[in-house]
Structure 1
Amino acid sequence: MVVGDASLDIDTLVIGAGPGGYAAAIRAAQLGQKVLCVDKGNVGGVCLNVGCIPSKALISAAHQYESVSHGADIGIEAEGVKLDFGKVQSFKDGVVKKLTGGVAALLKANKVEYFNGEVMFISDTEARVFNDQESPRYRFKNCIIATGSRPIELKPFPYGGRILSSTGALALQEVPKSLVVIGGGYIGIELGQMYAKFGAKVTVIEGLDSILAGFDPELTKLVDKKLRGQGVDIVTGAQAKSAEQTDDEVTITYSVDGEEKQITADYLLVTVGRKPNTDGDLGLDLIDLKMTDRGLIEVDDQCRTSIPNIYAIGDIVPGPALAHKATYEAKVAAEAIAGQPSKVDYKCIPLVVFSDPECASVGYSEQEAKDKGHKVTVGRFPFNINGRALSLNATDGFVKIVSDADSGLVLGAQIAGLEASNMIAELGLAIEMGATVEDIALTIHAHPTLGEIPMEAAEVALGHPIHTFLKK
C-alpha cells in the first residue's frame, strides 16, 4: 500500500497480461528488470480466457463428436451417441483454468509483480494503477503496452440477447438449433463450423466473394466444400443490413445482388474483425503517442513507439492480430529495453485457421512470390496418397511449397488438411533458416506420418517424386 501520494519505482511497467503482456513481463524479469504487470481482466487475456484456447477446446470436442457420430465410414457404428453440451463447456472451462493458473504461476516464479486493475498514464514516466481497493502510483523507466483488442460491434447489430460476439458464442450453454454468422473470416468459420458439427443449422453471410479472405484460394475452396457438405449455407457477396430479435429468435435482413432477403435463427454471431484497445481510459492522449487513423500505435522494428521509453506490441500495433505475433513482439520489446539488438522480422508469421480441414500458411503465396519478382517453382503433394492420411480417413488436403526456381530457397508454403497447424512449423523454420527444397527432401521423415507430405512436396518441386508422377 502506498503512503500518501508517493510513487513506487519500477524498471518496466507492462500493461496487459495476455499472450503479449505476460510474455513481455516474464522476459523482462528474466533480463533483470523489476516488473509490474497490470490487467483489469483475467491473467492470460482474451486468448486464454475467451479466444484461442476455449474455442480450440470446443472445436476439438466437436471434431470428436462428429467422428463418433460418423464412424460407420470405417466400420464403427455407435448407437445412441449423446451430446452433453454442459459437460463440453465444463471441459473447456477446465482447460482455461489450468492454463491461466499456469501463467499466474509463471509470473510469480519470475518475480513479476501482478496487479489486477486499470492503468492511467500521468506522464511518460509515471502511471497510476487502481482498482476498488487501492490506487498506487508508479514511476517507471520503460513501459510495454499490450492491451489487445475486442470484437468490432456494428451499429445495426449491437451485442446482447440473441446477437452474439465471439465471446458470447463460446459461452452458450446449449447448442442452438440454428445460427447465422455474419463474417466469413477465420473466427466466423471456426465457430460456425464447430456449431454445425454439434448439430446446428448454420448460415454464413460474407460480404466478399469467398470465405477466409487473405488465404490461398486453393485452401479456402476445400473448406468451402467441406462446410457445404456439413449442411452449412454460405452466402457470399452479401450485405447484412439489420436484425430484429425477440426473446426466442433473431431475424436478419441482408441483400445479395440488390435483392433483399431475410433469415431467422436462434442466434446471430457477428465476427467482422477486432478493434484495438487504445481508445479507453488509459490516458494515451496525455502522453501524445503517434497513432494511425485506425487507432493502432506506430512502432519501429524494436516495437518502440514515438516516445523512446514506451513500447507497444500485439493487436494494438500494425499487422495481423495473432497471439503468436504478440508473444514474438513481447520478447523483442523486453530484449530491446535490456539493450539487446533484437528486432522484429515478420517474414515467417504462420497464419492458421482451425477449420475442417485446417488451413495454414507461412511466407509468400505463389502469386506473392511472383509479384516480388521471383521465378517460382511449386511442389504440391496431396493427402489422399499419403499412407498415414489414408489410415486416419483424413484425405482432404495438400501441402504446397513455393520456392525460388534458381536457388531452390523456400519462399512460402500453404497447407490444407489434418494437423496443418502443426505441420506448418517445419516450413516456417525452413524459410527462417534459408533452407532449400533440397534440404527438406534430403531430411529423413518418419514413416508413416503426415510429416512426410512436405518432403514429398519438396521432391515434386525438384522434379523427382517417388509417390506420384509429374504431369507432362
Structure 2
Amino acid sequence: MFKKITLLIVALLTIGLFFHFDLHQLLTLDGLKGSMDQFNQYKEQSPLLVIGGFFLLYVVVTALSLPGAAILTLAAGALFGLVEGLLVASFASTIGATLAFLVSRYLLRDAIKKRFPERLAAIDAGVEKEGSFYLFTLRLVPVFPFFLINLLMGVTSIKSWTFYWVSQIGMLAGTFVFVNAGTQLAQIDSLSGILSLNLILSFVLLGIFPLIAKAILNTIKKRRVYKNYTKPKQFDRNMIVIGGGAGGLVTSYIAAAVKAKVTLIEAGEMGGDCLNYGCVPSKAIIKSAKIAEQIKHADKYGLENSTPQFSFKKVMARVHQVIADIAPHDSVERYTNLGVEVLKGYAKITDPWTVEIKLNNGGTQTLTARTIVIATGARPFVPPLPGIEDAGYVTSDTLWSKFAELDEAPKKLVVLGGGPIGSELAQSFARLGSSVTQIEMADRVMIKEDTEVSEFATHALKASGVNVLTNHQALRCEKRGEQKFIIVKHAEQELEIEYDELLCAVGRSARLSGYGLEELGIETNRTIVTNEYLETLYPNIFAAGDIVGPYQFTHVAAHQGWYAAVNGLFGNLKKFKVDYRVIPWTTFIDPEVARVGINEQDAIDQGIDYEITRFEFKELDRAITDSATQGFIKVITPKGKDKILGVTVVSEHAGDLIAEFVLAMKHGLGLNKILGTIHSYPTWAEGNKYAAGEWKRAHAPQTVLNWLEKYHTWRRG
C-alpha cells in the first residue's frame, strides 16, 4: 500500500509541475510552430540527443495521460520526416501507453476487484476470449481517447505483452496520419483540419472493418463445417429435440408456444431422470422417512415416542404412486395438446439437419429440421472398482425398481459417495430401518459447502443412524459365497465392510454415445462442448441440460431449455448468452441445506473482502413452535454493503426460504429491501427478514444514534 501511495504521489506531483510551469503551452499547435526553428537547430547540433529526448518526452506525456500526444506526433513528422518520425512516434506512444496501462493495473485493479468482483470477473472472461480483438478495433479509431483505453484496459486481465503488440499495430494507422500531417506543419491551422469529416468516417470504417472481417470469418467457418453436407432446400420441422427430460420438455414447449413445428423424441419415460429416478422419487421417500423419524421422537411435540409400524413395500409403492401422479404433467398427451409432436424412439443425428429415429413400436422415420437440440441428460457414474459387477450394486436410477419388491429395507446398506444424492438417500434409508454406512473419499461430506455446513450435515446424518466414514477410499468389492464386502483404505490400512446392497452415488456422467456425435465430430469433454449460446460445432445444433453442464440441476436444464429454444429459432435475428449468475440449489437432507451464489470458502478463494451476517433459527418463533430450531442463515456481503453475494440456509424448508434471496440477487436488491418487506407472522420466511435485520444492526450509524440520544435527552428537559 505504501508503494502504491508513493507512486501515486509522484505521478500527481509530476502532473502538477507540468501545469505549474506551463509546459502544456509547448504542446499546442501554436507552441509547436513557434519552437520548430529552435528544435531544428538543436537537431543539427545533437541529432541523437534530440531524438532520445523527444522519445523520452513522448513516453512520459503518454504514460501520465497528459494532453499533447497529438501535437508530439505532429512534431515527430515535422522534426524527423515521415519514416523516422513514424518509427519514433509509434514506439514511444506504445511504450508510454503500456506504462500507463501498468500503472493503472498496479494502482486500481485490486481495489476495483474487491469492490466489483462479479462485474470484473465477467469482464475478464470476455477479455480472455476476445480482448485483443476489441482492443485492436478501438486502436484503429484515433478519435477515441487513447488514454482512457490505457487506463481501462489496465483494470482488466489482458496480458501486458498482448496489450503492447496490439496497441503497436492498432495505433499505426492513426500515427501515420498525424506524422504525415506533421511533415506539412506550416500548412496546418488546427487539429480539426487534420481530422476532417471524411478522414473520421474513414477511420470509423477502419474500426468497423475487424467486426465485418469477423462476421466474414464466421461465415467461412460455417461453410467449412458444413462443406461435406448438403443442406436441404426444405425442412420437415423447425426444430427437433432429442430427450424428454427437463431441458427437452422446456425447449419443445417454448418452440410450440411460438408456433414453430417441433418434434420431441424420447425413447424412455417422459419426464426424464428427475421424474422417474431422481428428484421426485427421492423426495417422496425422504418424506416417508421423515415421518418415521418424527414418530420415533414424538416427545419433541409433547407426544409419546413410538416405533413406527410400516411396510417398506408400501413405502416404495407410495413412491411409485407419486411418480404416477406427477407423470401427467410431463406426458405425451399433455405435450401433444401443447402442440408438440412426440415420437417414442431412439434418435441419431446423421447430418447437421437430419435425424433418424428408430421407433419403439418398430420401423424408422427420418426427419429434417433447421435446428436440432440435444437434451439427453446424464446417468449415474459407476466407479470401476474390481469386483463391483460380480458383487452387484444399485444406483439412484435402479434402486426404485429393485427395492420395490423388498418387504423391508436392506439390512446392511453401503452408500458410496458423500454428495447430495448419497447423503439424502443414506439418511432416508437409515430412518427406514437400514444399517447404513456412508463412504466418502474426501475429508468431509458435501465438500462444495462451507466446512461448518458439512459438519452440520454430518451431525444430522449421524443423528439419523448413518455411520459416516470420511477419508475412506473404496478399493474393491468381494463376494464370498452369499456375503458381499467392500474393501476401503483408511490411514494406510485396509478395512472391509459387509453389505447386502451397495448404492453408488458418486456423481453422474453425460449421455454422449449413440446420438451421432462422434460421426459428426461434435466435440465432447465429459459433456458436449458448446459456446455461450449453447451452440455446438454446428451453429444449428444446440445442447441443453445435464449433457452440457456446468450444473446438473433440473431447474438449470429448464433454464437452458429457454435459451436453446430462443437461440435455435431466432438466433439469426438475436442470440442470448446463457445467464448463470444466480443459480440456487438444495440438498434435501433433514434439515435441508440450500445455497445461492458464493459461500465463505468461495469468497476466500476469490480474494473478496467480505463479511458474514448470521441468523440462528433458535431465535425464530415459528421454528420454536415447530421444535425445529436447528440451523441458520448465513449471508455473504461485501464489506460495509448490503449487496448479497451469496446465501446458505440450513433449516427445515431451506429450499423454499432461499427463493427470496434468489429473487433479490437476480434483481439487484440488497438486504435493506428485504428488511423493509412485510413478512407474515409467524412464518419461516421471517428468518430472511431477521437476517437482514442482523446486518442492519451491525451497520447502525453510531454517530447519528449518539446525537439522537443527546437530542432525546434535551427534549426530556
> TM-score normalised by the shorter chain: which range applies?
over 0.9
Which of 136, 139, 150 does residue 368 from structure 2 map onto? 139
Secondary structure, counterpart of 1:136 in structure 2: strand
Find out whether 1:352 has 2:582 as its counterpart: no
Pair 1:111 & 2:339 matched: yes
Deviation, structure 1 residue 367: 3.5
Q: State which drifts further: 35-44 or 96-105.
A: 96-105
Task: State the Cα distance separating 1:200 from its structure 2 match.
Answer: 1.1
Alignment coverage as a number of residue pairs: 457
1:363-411 Cα offsets, whole Å, 9 max, x none, are: 1113323544543232100111111111111111001111122442111
CA separation in 1, counterparts of 2:524 and 2:567?
21
Shift of residue 134, structure 1, vs aligned partner: 2.0
Alignment-derived partner of residue 568 in structure 2: 337
Within 5 Å, which residues of 2 pair with 1:143-154?
A: 143-154=372-383
Structure 1 partner of 2:400? 170
Equivalent residue runs for 1:26-41 within 5 Å? 26-41=253-268
- Gap regions ≥5 residues in structure 1: 1-6, 467-472
CA contact (8 A) 2:631 2:650 kept: yes
Which has the larger displacement, 118-127 or 227-236?
Answer: 227-236
Q: Contact between 2:614 and 2:633, CA under 8 Å: does it hold in 1?
A: yes
Correspondence for 1:3:
none
1:288 paired to 2:521: yes
Distance (Å, rounded) in 1 between the aligned partners of 2:567 and 2:481: 53
Matches within 5 A, 1:193-208: 193-208=427-442
Query: Shift of the alpha carbon at 1:107?
Result: 0.8
1:313 aligned to which of 534, 544, 555: 544
Please point out which of 309, 318, 332 is paired with 1:82.
Answer: 309
Rounded Cα–Cα distance in structure 2 between residues aligned with 1:118 and 1:18:
14
Give the AA of the match of 2:344: N
Bigger mean CA deviation after superposition, 264-273 or 80-89:
80-89
Q: Distance in 2 between matches of 1:74 and 1:285?
A: 59
Q: Is the alpha carbon distance of 1:14 and 1:49 closer, same or farther for their aligned partners in structure 2, counting shifts above 3 Å?
A: same
Is this contact kept in 1: 2:296–2:307, CA < 8 A? no
More strand by share: 1
CA contact (8 A) 2:391 2:478 kept: no
| Equivalent position of 1:59 in the other structure | 286
Q: Sort the Cα spacing of 1:168 and 1:401 in 2 relative to 1 into closer, same or farther, 3 A.
A: same
Instruction: Measure the CA separation in 1 of the matches of 2:691 and 2:676.
Output: 12
TM-score normalised by length of structure 2: 0.62
Question: Structure 2 CA distance, aligned partners of 1:179 and 1:249?
Answer: 13
8 Å contact kept, 2:431–2:465: no
Q: Which runs of 5+ in 2 are unaligned?
A: 1-233, 701-717
Q: Percent identity?
A: 32
Counterpart residue number, 2:673: 439
1:331 CA drift (Å):
0.8
1:314 Cα deviation (Å)? Answer: 1.0
Letter in 2 for 1:238: H
Moved more, 139-148 or 360-369: 360-369
Aligned residue runs from structure 1 range 248-287, under 5 A: 248-278=482-512, 280-287=513-520
The offset of 1:185, in angstroms, is 0.8
Match of 1:469 in 2: none
**Aligned counterpart in structure 2 of residue 17 of structure 1, from 232, 244, 259:** 244
Larger Rg computed on CA atoms: 2
Does 399-408 or 76-85 show the bigger shift? 76-85
Q: Quick one: structure 1 residues 98 and 74, their matched pair in 2 at CA, closer, same or farther if it must change by over 3 Å? A: closer
CA contact (8 A) 2:450 2:601 kept: no
Rounded Cα–Cα distance in structure 1 between residues aligned with 2:546 and 2:265: 17
Provide TM-score, normalisation by structure 1. 0.93
Bigger relative contact order, structure 1 or 2, given CA contacts below 8 A and separation 6+?
A: 1
What does the per-residue CA deviation read over 1:179-229, in whole Å, with 9 as the maximum and x for residues that have no partner? 111111111111111001111111111100000111122222111011112
Distance in 2 separating the partners of 1:443 and 1:277: 45
Return the offset for 1:19: 0.9
Of residues 373-382 and 328-337 in structure 1, the stretch that sits farther from structure 2 once superposed is: 373-382
Tell me the SS of whatever aligns to 1:128.
strand
- Give secondary structure in 1 for the equivalent of 2:565: helix
Report whether the alignment pairs 1:126 with 2:359. Answer: no
> Structure 2 matches for 1:228-267, cutoff 5 A?
228-245=462-479, 248-267=482-501
Task: Tell me the CA shift for residue 464 of structure 1.
Answer: 5.3
Q: Distance between the aligned counterparts of 1:141 and 1:412, measured in 2?
A: 40
Over aligned residues, Cα RMSD in angstroms?
1.9
Q: Deviations over 1:287-326 (max 9, x none)?
A: 221222x2x1112222121210011011111312111110
Distance of 1:346 and 1:216 partners within structure 2? 21
Please report how far the alpha carbon of residue 169 of structure 1 lies from its aligned counterpart in structure 2 after TM superposition. Answer: 2.7
> Which one-letter code corresponds to 2:600 in the other structure?
E
